[in-house]
């Protein structure tokens, strides 16, 4: 999401390497995890370890995103700040509002939808902020 704002080609390559590597490992671990859990091949505390296993490589993503900020210029950092503020506050507002609606009977949604929502709003925020400075 921050790749379009990185100027330095070497930093961009490093960013893509980190993202693709972590996503690749994530997909492999997800398949293994789902396979083991669906067939009841693990039990006890191992169940939790196997369930959380796919998330581990994704810890590389925050590192890649934070590192990418170093290679942005001042306007690009401002665009990121505005888009992140937009995504952060709107996600908080929407999830809180939906939480209240669940009390009124709407179906309970999984927490797993919070990140796609925030990611989508982040992308919208970048597009809007970039347009403002064009």
Partner 1 sequence: MKSRLRDLRTQQGWSQGDMADKLAVSRQTVNAIETEKYDPSLPLAFKIAKLFGCTIEDVFAPEA
> Could you give the CA distance from residue 28 to residue 36 in angstroms, rounded to a whole number?
12
57 versus 125: smaller Cβ distance to partner 1:
125
Do 72 and 7 contact (CB within 8 A), yes or no? yes
Told to check if 73 binds partner 1 by CB under 8 A, we report yes
CA–CA distance, 119 with 87 (Å, rounded to integer): 8
Instruction: Give the list of residues 6+ apart from residue 53 with CB closer than 8 angstroms, or none.
Output: 29, 32, 33
Using the contact rule CB under 8 A, the part of the chain among 20-28, 43-51, 68-76, 89-97 near partner 1 is 68-76
Measured from the CB atom, the residue of 73 and 102 that comes closer to partner 1 is 73
Least separation, in Å, of the C-beta of 75 and partner 1?
A: 4
Please say whether the beta carbons of 98 and 109 come within 8 A: yes
**Contacting residue, 2, 76, 80, 91, with partner 1 by CB under 8 A:** 76
Which candidate, 90, 91, 72, 80, places its Cα nearest to that of 126?
Answer: 80
- Total of chain residues touching partner 1, rule CB under 8 A: 11
Task: Decide if residue 134 touches partner 1 (CB under 8 A).
Answer: yes
Residue 7 binds partner 1 (CB under 8 A):
yes
Cβ atoms of residues 8 and 71 within 8 Å: yes
Residue 75 interacting with partner 1 (CB under 8 A): yes
Binding site for partner 1 (CB under 8 A): 5, 7, 73-76, 78, 130, 132-134
């Amino acid at each position: 999401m921050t790749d379009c704002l990185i100027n330095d080609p070497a930093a961009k390559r490093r960013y893509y390497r980190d993202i693709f590597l972590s996503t690749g490992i994530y997909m492999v671990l997800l398949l293994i995890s789902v396979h083991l859990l669906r067939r009841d091949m693990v039990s006890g505390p191992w169940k939790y370890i196997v369930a959380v296993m796919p998330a581990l490589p994704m810890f590389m993503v925050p590192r890649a995103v934070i590192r990418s900020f170093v290679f942005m210029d001042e306007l690009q950092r401002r665009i990121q700040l505005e888009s992140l503020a937009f995504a952060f506050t709107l996600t908080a507002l929407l999830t809180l509002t939906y939480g209240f609606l669940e009390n009124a009977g709407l179906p309970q949604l999984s927490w797993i939808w919070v990140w796609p929502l925030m990611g989508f709003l982040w992308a919208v925020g970048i597009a809007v902020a970039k347009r403002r400075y064009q």
